[in-house]
Amino acid sequence: MPLWKNLSVIRKGVQLLAFLFLVYGSVFVGFYSADKISGAFPALSCAYDAKTADYCVLIPLQHQFGHSVGRALAAGTFTLSLLLPILTTLGTFLILFVLLNKAFCGWLCPLGFFQEVMGMIGQKLRLHRTESLDDKLVDRIRPAKWLMLSLLVILFPLASGLGFVGQELGDPFCKICPSRILTTLAAGQLNQLYIDTSSIGYMILSIIADTLFGLVLVLSLTMRQPFCRICPMLALHTLFRKVGLVKLVKNYTSRCDKCGLCAKACPMDIREIHTSKEKDILMPDCTLCGRCVEFCPDKGVMALKYAVIPIKVSDPYYFKERNRAQKVWEGKKTTARQSKKS
């Protein structure tokens, strides 16, 4: 199968280009242009990265809830006009989000790409991989993204502005976000991988950040998308997924009950795409990576669409060709390992 026909290869290429732009973007477009592109990006690009071309929507949301709304409520000077910055931020987010929907997670997020690269390294090292998590464990993990969004992006910043908690909780998600450490390290900055001893609160948050980044790095070697499962950006995407132009649809047939390859291919362990009889199967945890469509062996059963225009439709010929190419690739790796041993 030609590489340009392989959706997974195409996606990896897009992810690499997005990573380069979102981590080193100001090198290409200039610092001042990068500063104006958007301050409300629907993926985890970090403002702490001095070379970034953008920064994610979670940064201004935390600051607006803490520094604007919270402080105004505490001072008794709150007016509806103070909600305008939040609405502007969400409006900018929505303009971009409508264009690609949750594909910002599966195709553009630098942390998502990093986790997939670490997974490839883990395969190269022949580490034992957990391809699918237990259903009960998946169900226990799923609420975590909502807790991260509500507590770390909204409630703690608001409580900080009101004076109920310390200033270190004014932007708590940024302080523990593994993308902050990843993108700054990738840009040659070492100043974010540290333990802040200026106060107990800052020290605890910095220890959590370093530990979380280490866990993401290690877990990504042996399991698929560990941080994506608890990411508050994924939760924010879920709130607006119905308005996005990119859709994931399914034309259910009786054969679907006997297959389940789509659920096995899903890096987020969304088993509902296998059992669902609904046409719209863009689930809350979906990142629109398209693997379920790739691995569906039945013609026209699953499809990625842009509005009503098909982007990728499940096809038995593609399914067979992709499996054949995968076997050839795995055969080459086995031969290479054997030749090294000899």
- Domain locations along the chain: 3-236, 245-322
Average pLDDT over residues 47-64: 91
User: What pLDDT does 339 receive?
Assistant: 60
User: What pLDDT does 329 receive?
Assistant: 67
Is residue 226 within 8 A of residue 216, CB to CB? The reply is yes
Residues 6 or more apart whose CB falls under 8 angstroms from that of 206 comprise 175, 194, 195, 196
Average pLDDT over residues 19-33: 85
Average pLDDT over residues 59-85: 91
Q: Is 106 a residue whose pLDDT tops 90?
A: yes
Q: Is 201 a residue whose pLDDT tops 80?
A: yes
CA distance linking residue 30 with residue 142, whole number of Å: 39
Q: Is 342 a residue whose pLDDT tops 70?
A: no
Average pLDDT over residues 151-161: 96
Q: Which of 86, 66, 80, 52 is closest to 161 using CA atoms? A: 66
Average pLDDT over residues 296-304: 93
Average pLDDT over residues 13-37: 86
Is residue 118 within 8 A of residue 217, CB to CB? The reply is yes
CA distance linking residue 235 with residue 231, whole number of Å: 7
